[in-house]
Structure 1
Amino acid sequence: MGGPLTDLGTKRPAAVATAVSLYYDDHALYVGVRAQQKTPVVAAQATDDVGYGTDDFVGVLLDVTGNGGRTYYFVVTPRGTRYAFAAETARYKPTWSAAATTTPDGWNAVLRIPYDALKLAADGPQRWRINVVRNLAATAEHESLAYSPLMSYQQIPQWPTITYDWRWWPRTQGVTLVGAIPPPKPRAEFYGLDSSGTDRNAFTTPSGTTVRRSPRDVGADVAIPITATTTFVGAFSPDFSNVETDQQTIAPQQFRRAFNEYRPFFAQGAPYVNAAIESYQPNLPNEVLFYSPSIGSFDRGFKLVGTKDDNAFGALEVRGSDPQSGATFDDVAFGFRHRKPDNTLGYWVDGVSAAHSNGDDRTWEAGAYGRSLASGLVYSAMHAQETGSFVTRPGDAQKNAAFIDIQKPGLEANLGFLDTGAQYNPVDGFTNIADVRGPDFSLYLTHSLKSGPIKNGELFLNWDRWLDHQGNVHESDADANLTLRMRSPLALYVNDQLGSQRTYEGDYFSGGTHGYRDQQLQPFKTWDLGVGWGEGTPNSLRTDFQEGPFGTYFLHQTTSTFTRALGRASLSVDYAGTRESMFSGASDGQWLRRFSFAIPLGPDGNASIGYRDVSGRGGFATPGRDLAVSLHRKFRSGNELFVNYGTPAANSTLDRLVVKYLLKVGGGV
């Protein structure tokens, strides 16, 4: 299949050979791989879906819609440990198989991917896109069968990006299925839970807030196929104690922080509900109308997600209440997007209707983009409008944005314009900053060297100057970020930030909501130096130091992360320290110490322990010490057992022991 793989770090043919064979029948897709290797084979992970990226692996990427509507990723290591991912859901657990064995000069593998794991629309000619990638863990080399000069080297787990890279994957020719598509199957998961401890009624949301409510003993998730590519999803009395993750940081924040969503109900089909294809603030987190981490504990939710031809769509309804205040919410969100298979045209519309006991809020958004395959020119524009109880002037609750972007080998330049009203702040959404109007520009340069100590380099430049609606500078930035990766395990990072931010009565978000009173222009002028050793390998070290004026104080900050493979087990250690010297003369600091240890229990089980200690009050985090222990076991029937003490998501240890059994009924994905 195709020619040799390309090393994305050097943008040259890979130094070792990888032979790929592709076959299919009426039941499954088969991929055979023969991987030669000069460095020792790395294959420590022994539990499926745990520890992705730390071993050597070969991955098969599939876009079964031809336009990025549904993309899948199947991975196998030399030990035969398997991983599976889908862009449409974070809870993707298909039934598939793979086998691998080492050889004197490398290793071989065979992957069998049944069609019922892919949600194929129909028999007949298929318009699949397929790619094969390879990771060499000892040297952090990333190789790809599909190659475009526009592709860049990325760190795992960001690489490969299955929601974006599909446009470079080659199309299959002549694949026709007859009577091969199995009927979709419904699936249900029922849980039974028992808990004990003084904090058995405490639960932590993705944003780090711990709430208290009565523990839930039973609940269910159901997935009922409507068509081969459309599914109804329901969550009843949900519990997420077994998927909570540590997102704690002491780093000061200039803008609102974006948290990752780990709750399966919200993660499934999220790209179809937040349907926007483009984003408009290249140096900030992506703004969305429905930001599920802002939704705390909820009682039940319904969702319909799917694809049809070149379209993708999703809608959800979620209801719940705040166990402390008694405030209720009943929110609806929807999205629709269309994208041509050649990625030259796309458009979308999405919206949210939030019905809260203290008021209602409605927001909709529409946008479109175009792309020239010949010139590399990309252009896009969008408009959003918010109305409801919290909006007194609808004209000030709008957002308009546009950009022109040029993409060439080794270069991407983007010129944009942003106009966000002073009252624009969707209740269920994520908005970085409001009351801004003005241009922004970014330039991204990459270059790979054929010889010398430097393997590749990246330079990212960002500039913006946004005025508030009185004409004063609200936010301005001029940032430069340089990355140099050596042929040795060394990597260097140099960053410089030169900016300012205006606050109004101490709030940076919007001047209009404060009547533009008590304005203060605060400096953000920091530099950062980082050093990495062996990043992307099983044994790595990364340390950074940042210093400079940061708002109302002078910042000194250091962060270090160390990971090491201990046989099949893994160890991770973090240390961070922040010192804030106030311009008024006072000073304070905060320190974070964190470690985690994980050990596999065969291919279907694992155990882990994590400890975090945050001390001092001169930082972003709430001080506290947190201990979390977990045990997971998956049985041959597909049922699962979880035993957890505490939670990695809380600020301090929760005296809470949870035993949860998950009973699975039916098939499907």
Structure 2
Amino acid sequence: MTACFNARKLLSRWMSVKTTMGALIGAIALLVCAAAHAEPAKYERATSSFPVARCDTPPKIDGALDDPCWTTASSTGGFYRFASSSPVAEMTEAWACADGRNLYVAFHCHDSQPGRIRADETQRDGDLSKDDRIGVEIDSQGTQRGYSTFVLSACGTQFESMENGNTDNIAWAGDWQGAVQKTSDGWTAEFAIPYALLKYPRDARSVRLMLFRNLARETNRTVWPGVPLSVTDPWHDTLYMQPCDGLSMPYFAPRPVILPYIRAGIGQTAGVATGVDVKYPLSTTLTGVAAYKPDFQTIEQSVSDVNFSYTQKYVNDHRPFFVEGANYMPDSDLLYTPQIANVDTGVKVVGKNGPYEIGALHTESGGPGGQEASVISIGREIGVTNNIGLNFARGNQPGEAFSNVGRLTGGYNWKNGSTNYNAFTQLTGSWRDSSWRGQQQFFDFSMNPKDGKPGFDIYHSLFGADFYSELGYLPELNRKGDGLSIYQDNRFDKGALESYHASTYIDSWQHETGGFFHNYQNGFMDLHYRSGIGFHVGYSHQIRQQDSSTLYRDHIMERRFWWGEKTLLQGGRIQYDSGTQAGQSYAYAVLAQGVRFSRVFSSQLLFNRLDLGGAIQTQTVVSGVYHLKNERSIGGRLVSQDRDTNVYLSFNQKTRGGTDIYVLLGDPNRRTTAAGMTFKLVRAL
């Protein structure tokens, strides 16, 4: 305790003459001292096992709970509000049973106001966040670190999210069955989840489960098993999943999934191309993926807005080869997959084996713009909350030296009462061939309390002036500095106000080679109301040394209002930010609105306008979709920006079995409309 006492004396003298920043850091230092001397409490978690009943005759998956197996199935009893002592709004019952191929789960969702049940999304793997829905989360390896999720909406729309990431081809990702039926007092549902979809050790006989229900008109989900009030994560904590045993989980011999395609185009998209993707289970927990000439032409990439940025803007990658197993790959500063524009051949190995997580890939492409990339990531879980990891990335353009980046990471987490403490560090070095190219450092410490209490996050970071990563997203280098965020969140089970988030952030940066770079202060508050409207107000101030002779003083006021948050594709928002940016007057406006013309036809409008020093840029994006059925749709998009306009139309058919069909009129990723047509056929073998 002497060290902490001396620190307090020094900090009290410093705070008496220094800025508010010093006071904040001093307060946090005292909290750190207190945490360091508090006795870490063990995590509370389910320890008693829940035996899953055996069913000799599987249920017919039609949503009706009239099968004989449900009379002898294991009953979960009642559901509970997540990390809340408030009573549940509506009762939920659930049952589970299993045979040698599937885990079966049934729900009875009682509802005293059946007229308020909402279920608008009809497209498989669409957005169910605004619908009444139920779900099954499965930690198939029992590590309390990750899980796969299977969801059904009240109209029977399916959604799944696999632990290792997955693409949207049903045959490739694996299929499961689900169905619902309306009842006089709500609705019922049945799931059949094949063991073949899950990754688990050989001879496994148990999994960990969490079942949940979301009412569209309610803030908080209800769950089984119950979760203590001390949990700070508002959605999920794998530590509290229920151990379930008595399962007969068979060993499945490795069986490849082969996904060949043929693409033909006419007009500006003329030509014929073929390629193939192959997925092969290397073990019960590791998956290998290979690709030859994967088709990226028909993948619609993200559209970046026109708002001002000092740096390169980050966009998401939707290409299936990179999406598969993305959770096991390094962070974007080592692997930013949009940097890999073309792939002639590629291989990946992704998965989890006990406490180890593994992700590796290698791609090559020739001709103009050719590139070679190799990446590996190995993580080791220690206990249920701590980890270490090693990452390596290597890439080059033809005729250039290889860029090599290596990283060591480590995380340590503990809990004291209802407060979580997290410490994280990563050390990174880069070199080209044998020449050292600088380092990167990052240290972070955070305190995350339960809702309604303030928390903080403090960090130190360094990006070397010569640091280089061929494959990484590195918007700014030659900087070192510290940052501090103080925030408070809360959510309410009743009343007009549903939740709020308030935060203030301060950082200060110098150039690694010496000299001032920038400092930044920001504060904002978000309010979300149960009626579906929300407000955001914020203010930021920045002093930035852009170059040796240019110093900018930026200040921006943020104002945002949104509505229709409780609806699917009918919400909208208005945003207006104004002030000074890069030494010029600045105003940025956004209008977004969704329109649902019918249950199967909807459209989205996004308009944004930037006025920077009198120079005006505008962008309009209009997209629409018409669902012919759950797995077929007609879509389109118009993007108009800088006097360029691109329009395309598409037809998609994604089947549970058979041939997937894609038809494009135009090209989704050009700046101007392409007068052509593209056909693509994909069939799993």
TM-score category by the smaller chain? 0.7 to 0.9
Q: Deviation of residue 368 (structure 1)?
A: 0.5
Given that 2:522 and 2:540 are in contact with CA atoms closer than 8 Å, whether structure 1 keeps it comes out as yes
Alpha carbons of structure 1 residues 346 and 184: separation in structure 2 relative to 1, 3 Å: same
Q: Deviation of residue 341 (structure 1)?
A: 5.0
- Alignment partner of 1:266: what SS? helix
Given that 1:69 and 1:312 are in contact with CA atoms closer than 8 Å, whether structure 2 keeps it comes out as no
With the length of structure 2 as denominator, give the TM-score of the two structures: 0.82
Aligned to 1:658: 678
Task: Select which of 554, 563, 568 maps to 1:533.
Answer: 563
Aligned to 1:461: 504
Q: Deviation of residue 350 (structure 1)?
A: 0.5
**Structure whose residues are more often helix by fraction:** 2
Cα distance in structure 1, aligned partners of 2:506 and 2:644: 38
Cα distance in structure 2, aligned partners of 1:647 and 1:248: 17
Q: Deviation of residue 376 (structure 1)?
A: 2.0
Aligned to 1:210: none
Aligned to 1:208: none
For 1:265-304, list aligned pairs within 5 A.
265-274=321-330, 287-304=332-349
Matched AA of 1:116: A
With the length of structure 1 as denominator, give the TM-score of the two structures: 0.83
Count of aligned residue pairs for this structure pair: 596
Cα distance in structure 2, aligned partners of 1:635 and 1:468: 54
Given that 1:63 and 1:166 are in contact with CA atoms closer than 8 Å, whether structure 2 keeps it comes out as no
Given that 1:570 and 1:597 are in contact with CA atoms closer than 8 Å, whether structure 2 keeps it comes out as yes
Cα distance in structure 2, aligned partners of 1:310 and 1:303: 20
Given that 2:289 and 2:347 are in contact with CA atoms closer than 8 Å, whether structure 1 keeps it comes out as yes
Alpha carbons of structure 1 residues 268 and 341: separation in structure 2 relative to 1, 3 Å: farther
For 1:304-319, list aligned pairs within 5 A.
304-319=349-364
Given that 1:559 and 1:574 are in contact with CA atoms closer than 8 Å, whether structure 2 keeps it comes out as no
For 1:32-71, list aligned pairs within 5 A.
32-37=106-111, 38=113, 39-67=115-143, 70-71=146-147
Alpha carbons of structure 1 residues 494 and 168: separation in structure 2 relative to 1, 3 Å: farther
Residue 212 of structure 2 corresponds to residue 171 of structure 1: no
Q: Deviations over 1:329-360 (max 9, x none)?
A: 221110000113521x2000001111322232
Q: Which moved more, 1:245-254 or 1:378-387?
A: 245-254
Matched AA of 2:515: N
Aligned to 1:646: 666
Q: Deviation of residue 378 (structure 1)?
A: 1.2
For structure 1, list consecutive stretches of 5 or more residues without a partner in the other structure.
154-159, 201-214, 277-286, 505-517, 616-622
Aligned to 1:509: none
- Alignment partner of 2:321: what SS? helix
Alpha carbons of structure 1 residues 655 and 612: separation in structure 2 relative to 1, 3 Å: same
Cα distance in structure 2, aligned partners of 1:422 and 1:566: 53
Alpha carbons of structure 1 residues 169 and 7: separation in structure 2 relative to 1, 3 Å: closer
Aligned to 1:384: 428
Aligned to 2:65: none
Residue 81 of structure 2 corresponds to residue 6 of structure 1: yes
Cα distance in structure 1, aligned partners of 2:277 and 2:145: 24
For structure 2, list consecutive stretches of 5 or more residues without a partner in the other structure.
1-75
Residue 79 of structure 2 corresponds to residue 28 of structure 1: no
Q: Which moved more, 1:64-73 or 1:592-601?
A: 64-73
For 1:539-550, list aligned pairs within 5 A.
539-550=570-581
Given that 2:662 and 2:681 are in contact with CA atoms closer than 8 Å, whether structure 1 keeps it comes out as yes
Residue 435 of structure 2 corresponds to residue 435 of structure 1: no
Aligned to 1:590: 617
Q: Deviation of residue 248 (structure 1)?
A: 3.1
Task: Select which of 344, 367, 378 maps to 2:409.
Answer: 367
- Alignment partner of 1:124: what SS? coil
Q: Deviations over 1:278-336 (max 9, x none)?
A: xxxxxxxxx43111111102211011122111111121110014x5xx24322111000
Matched AA of 1:221: D
Aligned to 1:512: none
Residue 440 of structure 2 corresponds to residue 399 of structure 1: yes
For 1:145-224, list aligned pairs within 5 A.
145=224, 147=227, 149-151=230-232, 165-173=236-244, 175-178=245-248, 180-200=250-270, 215=271, 217-224=273-280
Q: Identity of paired residues, percent? A: 19
The structure with higher relative contact order (CA 8 Å, sep 6+) is 1
Cα distance in structure 2, aligned partners of 1:239 and 1:452: 50
Q: Which moved more, 1:189-198 or 1:594-603?
A: 594-603
Aligned to 2:12: none
Task: Select which of 91, 99, 123 maps to 2:167.
Answer: 91
Give the CA RMSD over aligned residues.
2.5
Q: Deviation of residue 54 (structure 1)?
A: 4.2
Alpha carbons of structure 1 residues 453 and 224: separation in structure 2 relative to 1, 3 Å: closer
- Alignment partner of 1:255: what SS? coil
- Alignment partner of 1:217: what SS? strand
Q: Deviation of residue 565 (structure 1)?
A: 2.8
Q: Deviation of residue 16 (structure 1)?
A: 2.1
Q: Deviations over 1:173-196 (max 9, x none)?
A: 4x1434634334211000011111
Task: Select which of 573, 592, 599 maps to 1:568.
Answer: 599
Cα distance in structure 2, aligned partners of 1:69 and 1:265: 24
For 1:122-141, list aligned pairs within 5 A.
122-126=202-206, 128-137=207-216
Q: Deviations over 1:96-135 (max 9, x none)?
A: 1001011223211111101001122222343x33223333
Alpha carbons of structure 1 residues 60 and 500: separation in structure 2 relative to 1, 3 Å: farther
Residue 628 of structure 2 corresponds to residue 601 of structure 1: yes
Aligned to 1:474: 517
Matched AA of 1:291: Y
Aligned to 2:303: 247
Q: Deviation of residue 556 (structure 1)?
A: 0.8
Given that 2:304 and 2:315 are in contact with CA atoms closer than 8 Å, whether structure 1 keeps it comes out as no
Matched AA of 1:172: P
Residue 566 of structure 2 corresponds to residue 524 of structure 1: no
Cα distance in structure 2, aligned partners of 1:600 and 1:420: 48
For 1:337-348, list aligned pairs within 5 A.
337-343=379-385, 345-348=386-389
Cα distance in structure 2, aligned partners of 1:631 and 1:579: 34
Matched AA of 2:180: A
Matched AA of 2:79: P
Cα distance in structure 1, aligned partners of 2:536 and 2:310: 21
Given that 2:219 and 2:493 are in contact with CA atoms closer than 8 Å, whether structure 1 keeps it comes out as no
Aligned to 1:203: none
